[in-house]
């Protein structure tokens, strides 16, 4: 489903770009058969121009690069996590780091090191299964797990705060494993750049 959403997002962006490019093209003038049949004698002479002014050169707007489009689509696909950072996903009923998520955490640590004045909030989230109290506690453990990893990578703890939303802020509302997997995450949100 994630690949399908990414495909739809890319298709949507390409459609918008195509519409924009088509609207910039010159419009064709249609000539009726009656007008086409007129001879030069029946056509009124064109008025003499009073003064000709050279047209100003058009300034073309910069089209977004492929990399910028990829970042925009990635940002849409990654939910509430701020641009430049990546969310971290968890297994059902777990808060320990999955091995396939450590590269995301390493990339987040790299971004934080490149932006030394940035401060972030790690927001722990859960899927809908379990009680509200349980999910709030699990979301907090997930946020703390990400914070611990980042501080072990050299990020100062005072630059990171944590918050648990439990199951209150889902990204996906279906009731299946694929959707629940998107909701079991820790979002990294920039609160000061």
CATH architecture of 80-192: 2-Layer Sandwich (3.30)
pLDDT band at 53 (very low <50, low <70, confident <90, very high): low
pLDDT tens sequence across 104-160: 999 999 999 999 999 999 999 999 999 999 999 999 999 999 999 999 999 999 999
Lookup result for tokens 């971004």: 111
Whether 83 has a pLDDT exceeding 80, the answer reads yes
Whether 101 has a pLDDT exceeding 90, the answer reads yes
Whole-model pTM: value is 0.60
How many whole angstroms separate alpha carbon 156 and alpha carbon 47?
A: 75
How many whole angstroms separate alpha carbon 119 and alpha carbon 158?
A: 8
Whether 2 has a pLDDT exceeding 70, the answer reads no
How many whole angstroms separate alpha carbon 132 and alpha carbon 178?
A: 21
For position 192, what pLDDT does the model report? 87
pLDDT tens sequence across 12-42: 656 666 565 555 554 444 445 555 455 445 4
Query: Which helix (DSSP H) or strand (DSSP E) does residue 163 occupy?
Result: strand 160-166
Instruction: Kindly report the average pLDDT of the chain as a whole number.
Output: 78
Which one, of 129, 122, 131, lies nearest residue 183 by Cα?
A: 129
For position 127, what pLDDT does the model report? 94
CA distances from 2 to 80, 87, 192 (A): 15, 14, 30
Which one, of 1, 5, 172, lies nearest residue 76 by Cα?
A: 5
Domain extent listing, the chain: 1-21+64-77, 80-192
Lowest mean pLDDT segment, chosen from 13-22, 56-65, 87-96, 120-129: 56-65
Contact 19, 11 (CB under 8 A): no
pLDDT tens sequence across 131-142: 999 999 999 999
């Amino acid at each position: 489903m994630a690949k399908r959403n990414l495909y739809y997002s890319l298709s949507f962006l390409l459609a918008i770009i195509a519409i924009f490019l088509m609207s910039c093209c010159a419009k064709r003038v249609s000539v009726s058969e009656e007008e086409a049949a007129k001879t030069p004698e029946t056509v009124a002479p064109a008025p003499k121009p009073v003064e000709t002014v050279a047209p100003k050169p058009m300034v073309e707007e910069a089209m977004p690069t492929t990399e910028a489009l990829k970042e925009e689509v990635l940002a849409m696909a990654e939910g509430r996590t701020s641009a430049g950072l990546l969310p971290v996903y968890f297994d059902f009923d777990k808060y320990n780091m999955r091995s396939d998520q450590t590269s995301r955490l390493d990339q987040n640590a790299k971004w934080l090191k490149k932006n030394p004045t940035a401060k972030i909030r790690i927001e722990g989230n859960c899927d809908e299964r379990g009680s509200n109290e349980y999910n709030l506690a699990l979301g907090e453990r997930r946020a703390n797990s990400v914070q611990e990893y980042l501080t072990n990578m050299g990020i100062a703890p005072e630059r990171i705060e944590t918050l648990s939303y439990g199951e209150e802020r889902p990204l996906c509302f279906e009731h299946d494993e694929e959707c629940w997997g998107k909701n079991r995450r820790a979002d990294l949100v920039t609160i000061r750049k």
